[in-house]
Amino acid sequence: MPVFVDIEEQTFCIDADLIGAAITPRTSAILATHVYGYPCDVLRIEAIAQRHGLRVIYDGAHAFGTRVAGRSLLSYGDIATCSFHATKLFHTGEGGAMLVNDQALSQRINLLKSFGHVGDEHFTLGINGKNSELHAAMGLCLLPRVMGFIETRATLYETYRHELDGLPLSYPVVPADTDYNYAYFPVLFEDEAQLLLAKALLSAYEIDTRRYFFPSLNHLPYLPGNAAPCPVSEDAAVRVLCLPFYPQLDPAEVVRIAGLLRLAIGSVVPA
């Protein structure tokens, strides 16, 4: 059964200050997410894990291209998972990868994703979890363009911030010593009512946005009702909205989206 820990206000990632108090004799690993490509406090989490003899598993679905202290963010932890879904900065249409810093564990995972056998030698149950050659070919076509994607996204990010300047919105903060990948553009509204109004207005103009993530994970309906409160996560989940953000996005469209947000928030009165 998962034990939930609240998030930081600045990065929306797990709050390392709260991890120690949540560890029990039954704890086997720390599972954390690099939300929107912003890094968890990987060095502190590593120290906590070593002190308690725990594994560290990172959900790095958003983390491709982010670097911390000169290292790929995906190189931290015992396991880092990475999504190659079509919506990600780098993708293969569908699929993903696991980066494993343990040879024995890596061999175990390779067996599990390859039917559990090597040739005629059978070791365990397994599935066909391999990517196809078609997906790999798409990835090879896109991989040389990743840095260009990041540069374009960085420019779009600055355009959004400039056009939204002065509105009562807040944003995650990139930690020090981080080269960010600009995977998403989340904005935090003052309250949920304001978010819903903005989302509805943008939708009326056929501009799609996403409440990413909603609800707070400790409120998922299929989990037992005794999950610990996570007030920061619960508050952010009802106020955060991801705006359109992809390399082909026209800067003029960013200006248009910002103008509609100004109308929704009430900073501009319609003529």
Q: What percent of the chain has pLDDT over 70?
A: 97
Element holding 138 (H helix, E strand): helix 133-142
pLDDT band at 227 (very low <50, low <70, confident <90, very high): confident
* Domain residue extents for the chain: 16-144, 145-265
Round to whole Å and give the CA distance between 42 and 11: 13
pLDDT at position 271: 44
What would the CATH number be for the domain defined by 16-144? 3.40.640.10
Round to whole Å and give the CA distance between 63 and 178: 12
The per-residue pLDDT for range 96-153, each reduced to its tens digit, is: 999 999 999 999 999 999 999 998 889 999 999 888 999 999 999 999 999 999 999 9
The per-residue pLDDT for range 36-74, each reduced to its tens digit, is: 999 999 999 999 999 999 999 999 999 999 999 999 999
Q: How far is CA 230 from the centre of its chain?
A: 18
pLDDT at position 267: 53
Q: Are strands 96-100 and 121-122 parallel, antiparallel or unpaired?
A: unpaired
pLDDT band at 1 (very low <50, low <70, confident <90, very high): confident
The arrangement of secondary structure in 145-265, i.e. its CATH architecture, is Alpha-Beta Complex (3.90)
Q: Supply the pTM of this predicted model.
A: 0.92
Mean pLDDT of the chain: 94
